[in-house]
């Protein structure tokens, strides 16, 4: 099986290093991915920087149309995407199908938001010196951004990084999970086919410790990370002056009071706790039960 290539400046690239992708349920190999080097990552950042002028020049309707094409392309290939998700994460195909539907929706919403760049007009007559003057507030693309995504939702959490950035006109350097990168690379092919400018999306497949440049390089103006709290706060500490967006693991607690329908509570809490093997930021991790119904609940 030929190894999957990573994407830099519109070109599919290989390297001298490969990493095997293993289905955690079966323990079997489902593919190989070329690993990006430090030089490759530097090139990806440079490509995003170069693409910024063209990305921010896109009219809002052009960004909307690109995002709409991505959404429709995923929809037309939903079976292929679901099978890819299951093959590299081991999750049930029904869960993968649900994730695909969510990603279709995510890009559709991003397409709608691309044409809603809001601003403000403010009167400045709160002081005599500015009487008769008006302030116009406009929003502009921030610049090249980095996205780092986890293994548990390898399509929709990538969509959460790409959709908003593309809607705003910002090029992206994406680092998908090293254990589940195949679906992200499949999505990248669709993004290229949808007409995003060259360098508007760059995907580097590498281990976490090799991606530190995405955190420290000042050419990137924002980093968006989804994953564990320990890694997220470490990223924030090393990010310098760039903006940081963190979606970290939860510590969700549930309270069961004595007036609760216990049968219904248990029915809801079992999938809430164990769905996706608990690998979800919204999984139930603590249950507080009123003492008077504790034994009945158990």
Domain assignments of the chain as residue spans, ordered by start: 6-115+139-249, 250-298
Q: How confident is the model at residue 273 (pLDDT cuts 50, 70, 90)?
A: confident
User: Which range among 40-54, 153-167, 205-219 shows the weakest confidence by mean pLDDT?
Assistant: 205-219
| pLDDT for res 171 | 99
DSSP-derived secondary structure for 71-133: HHHHHHTHHHHHHHHHHHH---HHHHHHHHHHHHHHHHHHHHHTT----EEEE-TTSGGGTT-
Q: Are 226 and 160 in contact (CB under 8 A)?
A: yes
- Tell whether the model's pLDDT for residue 278 goes beyond 70: no
| pLDDT at residue 20 is higher than 80 | yes
Phi/psi for 136 (5° steps) reads: -110, 120
Condensed to tens digits (0 to 9), the pLDDT of residues 120-163 reads 999 999 999 999 999 999 999 999 999 999 999 999 999 999 99
**252, 284 Cβ separation under 8 angstroms:** yes
Spatial distance between the Cα atoms of 179 and 44, rounded to a whole number of angstroms: 21
On whether the pTM is more than 0.85, the answer is: yes
Sign of CA dihedral 74, 79, 83, 89: positive
Token pair for 135: 């302030």
Residue-averaged pLDDT of the chain: 94
Q: At a CB cut-off of 8 Å and minimum separation 6, what does 38 contact? A: 210, 213
Q: Lowest mean pLDDT: which of 56-60, 201-205, 247-251?
A: 247-251
**Residue 185: both structure tokens together:** 């690379």
**Residues designated as active site:** 247, 281
Q: Tell me if 45 sits within 8 A of 173, measured CB to CB.
A: yes
Q: Under DSSP, is residue 165 helix (H, G, I), strand (E, B) or coil?
A: helix
Output the CATH code of domain 6-115+139-249. Answer: 3.40.605.10
């Amino acid at each position: 099986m030929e190894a999957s290539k990573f994407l830099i400046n519109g070109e599919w690239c290989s390297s001298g290093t490969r990493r095997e992708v293993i289905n955690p349920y079966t323990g079997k190999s489902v593919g190989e991915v070329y690993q990006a080097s430090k030089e490759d990552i530097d090139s990806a950042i440079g490509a995003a920087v170069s693409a910024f002028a063209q990305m921010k020049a896109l009219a809002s309707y052009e960004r909307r149309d690109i995002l709409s094409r991505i959404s429709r392309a995923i929809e037309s290939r939903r079976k292929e995407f679901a099978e890819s998700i299951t093959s590299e994460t081991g999750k049930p195909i029904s869960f993968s199908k649900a994730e695909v539907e969510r990603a279709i929706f995510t890009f559709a919403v991003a397409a709608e938001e691309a044409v809603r760049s809001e601003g403000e007009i403010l009167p400045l007559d709160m002081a005599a010196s500015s009487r008769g003057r008006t302030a116009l507030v406009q929003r502009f693309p921030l610049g090249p951004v980095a996205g780092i995504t986890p293994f548990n939702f390898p399509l929709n959490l990538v969509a959460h990084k790409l959709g908003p950035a593309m809607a705003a006109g910002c090029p992206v350097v994406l680092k998908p999970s090293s254990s589940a990168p195949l679906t992200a690379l499949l999505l990248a092919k669709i993004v290229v086919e949808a007409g995003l400018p060259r360098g508007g999306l760059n995907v580097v497949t590498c281990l976490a410790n090799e991606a530190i440049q995405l955190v420290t390089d000042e050419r990137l103006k924002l980093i968006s990370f989804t994953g564990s709290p320990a890694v997220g706060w470490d990223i924030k500490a090393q990010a310098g002056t760039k903006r940081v967006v963190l979606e970290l693991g939860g510590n969700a607690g549930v309270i069961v009071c004595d007036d609760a329908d216990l049968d219904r509570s248990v029915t809801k809490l079992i999938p809430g706790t164990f769905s996706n093997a608990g690998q979800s930021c919204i999984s139930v991790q603590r249950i507080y039960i009123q003492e008077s119904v504790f034994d009945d609940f158990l």
